Structure 1
Amino acid sequence: MAVCARLCGVGPSRGCRRRQQRRDPAETAAADSEPDTDLEEERIEAGAAELCGEWGGRSSSPSPPPRCSLLELPPELLVEIFASLPGTDLPNLAQVCTKFCRILHNDTIWRRRCREVLHRYRHILGLWQPDIGPYGGLLNVVVDGLFIIGWMYLPPHDPHVDDPMRFKPLFRIHLMERKSATVECMYGHRGPHNGHIQIVKKDEFSTKCNQTEHHRMSGGRQEEFRTWLREEWGRTLEDIFHEHMQELILMKFIYTSQYDNCLTYRRIYLPLSHPDDLIRPGLFKGTYGSHGLEIVMLSFHGRHARVTKITGDPNIPAGQQTVEVDLMHPIQLPTVDDLYNFNELSRIILEAQEEVHREQRQPEGRTEDGEGSGEGSRPPTEVREPEPGSEGAAALKEEPLQFVLPVGVSSRNENYPRTCRICFFGTGLIAGHGFTSPERTPGVFILFDDDRFGFIWLELKSFSLYSRVQATFRNADAPSPQAFEEMLKNIQSLTS
């Protein structure tokens, strides 16, 4: 490190002191306030030349030493060099010049710091779901510059399902300490303050704020409530009082109190993608009537696709499977004129439901005439989407079909696509307040394109539109299909 310090001008050296003595105070102040690339390069090269001169004095060769400068090294090599230095020296190194500062923001360096210097926190990178009653949530923990930061991702304002996700920092961990790491709570309006993180086990950790007074506003709970409405809903209390008052009070209570106490997070994985999947699985934002927008996860499981709630509501909590799609039963929608008639759509869906029930009553692998069925004898994991040549597969290759909502079907978002690719029979989970009397009811899954799908709830006469979350999440892919299935069971069991 002493050699690096002399080359970079970080540590003391005779050359550095001589150059400082030759500067006048104004030049020194200007250099300290704003780095100059030319001066930095001259200083680095001068230090390198001095060092090379010392080495050359010990050699019998009369040839002058070659010029050397760290700035001339390729960034990839500098990343490797800097990654091998102690974490406590990197902040000083970042002040040498703008090039070093940019390189030191490389994730490779800080991921190594997490492994070597802050090994106790290396397990918390990735996606997590907070345990907040039925509401859940989505936390993304990433390396960001000199910190590990936990970002809470929030859906867009209702009903703008195609808008990008919103996010805010909840905590950060300093990466420059050698023996211990400073943890700060970022929640509230008074800036970072002291917090604590406890790793319960590999796939679970908890956070606690040690200075909860930073969460409070001078105007008390009423000011906090109105500020939360503006930030989270984009509307004033008066605008939505008559629609959601009871729900808002409950949500605000949970939202403001969760960081006053110890909050537990459990790891979630993104589903693995398969070439035969209908579309790429992942996270989506969806409309849920008066409950607003919620975050769900689409995944494929052999003959079925499943939509699991990452955020939830008092009726259907987070972790529950909100929609299940039967990929072996595509539905042929009527023409647009007939589709306006809700009774016609209801007839088609109920006929598909009866067909599914009839097949379920048959012995596995046998048809009504007693002959063996190739479809029934095949393991479910081998069926990812309709067979080549089937009605569903053909529909994917044809021109998009016109689509409209039947008269009487309510929708929070009127800007739904007017064409679709294919439809399947499915069931949706409904329940009373507090997840009472849950039951699965028939509906139709509509695939619009690679990034949007919808579901018509037949019994509720309502339509949910889902749009893909476009954010990129690192350290979030499931290590294996078995690990993903186990994760789904774990988050569902928390609210069952």
Structure 2
Amino acid sequence: MSLHIVDLPPELLFQILRHLPGPDIGRVCQTCRKLREIGSVDSLWQIKCRIEYKYAVEGGLENSSYYKIYSKVLHKYGKSVGLWRRDRKVYGGLVWIRYDKEGIVGSELLAPLSPNVKESMRRFDLFNISLTSEDEVKVTCTAEVNGHPCSVKVKPKKGTCKYTCLDTSNHLYGDKKIDLKNDSSLIEVLNIWLDNERGSDGDNDMYHFTYYGRGMDFLKNIHTYKLKPLLIQPPVQDKDVPLQPGLFKGTYSAHGIEIMNAEYSQNFNTLTLTKITGDPNVPATKVSVKVDLLRPMVLTANQQESIDNLDGVDTAHIEPGTKLEPQPFVFPRNCSERSGFNPPKTCLFRYHAQGQIAGHGFRSPTWSPGHFVVFDEDTFGMIWLQLESFSLYSRVMEKYDFSKLAQEHELTR
């Protein structure tokens, strides 16, 4: 006597269905009423939401069901959740898409205003994806109080996401509603942007051209965000490293504060800082700093008194694997620094490094020598010897979910 699958107990059928991908559950449940009834149990879809998309609502859903959330929101937009880098020439950008109650919210993440590198990231909401009372998906641009339609398109196979505002006639800037279709209004928006973004740099005329260029690019790309998933290296567990990888904010002279992705090479011989946001000299996606972890150094206070001393210092070879103790740190004379940094008297590590410099438009890029100095797990600096300047970097302390698409594309490389 043969046994048909529908003769199995409902509890066992439930366990079988929970191990199927969500789309396959729908197909299987079309075969008979018993499977359809089991497939309609909302706790099954709660499991699928959690396993496939890491979607969970504390306290449960109030206005919808997990099946509706899965089939109408997550199936189409779930792979958009995570950190994305903005695919924008020169300046780049960072976008965080996350779950919010019974929907999805996309936000742009901006570095703090210059020169306050240790302050928190700034967040501006871009769009919201939710279900209406009629169970229709609503994609809303949140640049205006009441919201208006926008488009979010996720292409998992290409690893891209694109957000486009479909109505720019009623955007809110500061406390003003402005029609971006009106050319005269663009000047007003530019002035508002400059007032908001320059911070204390607004008092310095030498930085006006830099911010004006960023503002013009902001206007040019205000309606559309093309995104690519950003993969952050996980914490290093089994190696002694000077600091954990991750996102950092760094001071870049007149260019303000830029966002970096710090990650180790496969053999842990090099630490690389790649630009998530950039500038006309060294744009986004380019490497800003390369640290040679095979060339640590220990300096006396006298060796650090000036840039000339540092540039000509002859450091003794230190065997790889040698345990390094905290050493003196002296901020060198004739070295410019804009963050208001109060240097400590010691640092944890110091390494030879190279920083990338270039002319406007990334012309004639070259590598310039420097010293990479680690002060603590979340703070380090770069002394640019030829530029006679100092960049301070501070870890992005906010916690962001990483992109599932980024992880999938990393596995298929």
Matched residue, 2:139: 183
CA 1:190 to 1:251, structure 2 compared with 1: closer, same or farther past 3 Å? farther
> 2:255 aligned with 1:314, yes or no?
no
User: Aligned partners of 1:479 and 1:82: how far apart in 2?
Assistant: 23
User: Aligned partners of 1:113 and 1:386: how far apart in 2?
Assistant: 60
* Bigger RCO (CA 8 Å, 6+ sep): 2
Matched residue, 1:53: none
Q: Relative to total residues, which structure has the larger strand share, 1 or 2?
A: 2
> 2:412 aligned with 1:446, yes or no?
no
SS in 2 for 1:230: helix
Indicate which of 206, 217, 223 corresponds to 2:178.
217
CA RMSD of aligned residues (A): 3.2
Q: Relative to total residues, which structure has the larger helix share, 1 or 2?
A: 1
User: Aligned partners of 1:110 and 1:339: how far apart in 2?
Assistant: 64
Code of the residue aligned with 2:168 in structure 1: it is T
> 2:195 aligned with 1:230, yes or no?
yes
Indicate which of 262, 268, 273 corresponds to 2:235.
273
Code of the residue aligned with 1:405 in structure 2: it is F
User: Aligned partners of 2:96 and 2:67: how far apart in 1?
Assistant: 19
Matched residue, 1:430: 357
Matched residue, 2:337: 411
For normalisation by structure 1, the TM-score amounts to 0.64
SS in 1 for 2:280: coil
Code of the residue aligned with 1:429 in structure 2: it is Q
> 2:298 aligned with 1:298, yes or no?
no
User: Aligned partners of 1:299 and 1:181: how far apart in 2?
Assistant: 38
Indicate which of 105, 110, 127 corresponds to 1:171.
127
CA 1:105 to 1:288, structure 2 compared with 1: closer, same or farther past 3 Å? farther
Return the index of the structure with the highest Cα Rg. Answer: 1
> 2:218 aligned with 1:255, yes or no?
yes
CA 1:325 to 1:485, structure 2 compared with 1: closer, same or farther past 3 Å? farther
Provide Cα deviations, 1:177-196, integer angstroms capped at 9, x if missing partner.
78752111123x55421101
User: Aligned partners of 1:243 and 1:265: how far apart in 2?
Assistant: 32
SS in 2 for 1:410: coil
SS in 2 for 1:173: strand
Contact 1:333–1:345 (CA<8 Å) still a contact in 2?
Answer: no
Once the two structures are aligned, what percentage of the paired residues are identical? 30
Indicate which of 337, 341, 348 corresponds to 2:306.
341
CA 1:289 to 1:176, structure 2 compared with 1: closer, same or farther past 3 Å? same
How far did 1:307 drift? 0.6
SS in 2 for 1:151: strand
Provide Cα deviations, 1:4-29, integer angstroms capped at 9, x if missing partner.
xxxxxxxxxxxxxxxxxxxxxxxxxx
Gaps of 5+ in 2: 1-41, 50-56, 172-176
Provide Cα deviations, 1:329-375, integer angstroms capped at 9, x if missing partner.
1012222x441122111112xx569x9xxxxxxxxxxxxxxxxxxxx
Provide Cα deviations, 1:29-70, integer angstroms capped at 9, x if missing partner.
xxxxxxxxxxxxxxxxxxxxxxxxxxxxxxxxxxxxxxxxxx
For normalisation by structure 2, the TM-score amounts to 0.76
SS in 2 for 1:213: coil
User: Aligned partners of 1:111 and 1:453: how far apart in 2?
Assistant: 45
Contact 1:183–1:195 (CA<8 Å) still a contact in 2?
Answer: yes
Indicate which of 344, 348, 365 corresponds to 1:421.
348
How far did 1:474 drift? 1.3
Contact 1:173–1:181 (CA<8 Å) still a contact in 2?
Answer: yes
Code of the residue aligned with 2:218 in structure 1: it is Y
CA 1:258 to 1:191, structure 2 compared with 1: closer, same or farther past 3 Å? farther
Indicate which of 427, 446, 462 corresponds to 2:389.
462
Between Structure 1 and Structure 2, how many residues are aligned? 347
> 2:226 aligned with 1:264, yes or no?
yes
SS in 1 for 2:393: strand
How far did 1:176 drift? 5.1
CA 1:184 to 1:413, structure 2 compared with 1: closer, same or farther past 3 Å? same
Question: Which piece of structure 1 moves more, 450-459 or 267-276?
Answer: 267-276
Provide Cα deviations, 1:201-232, integer angstroms capped at 9, x if missing partner.
44101111111112362782343223213333
> 2:256 aligned with 1:329, yes or no?
no
How far did 1:470 drift? 0.6
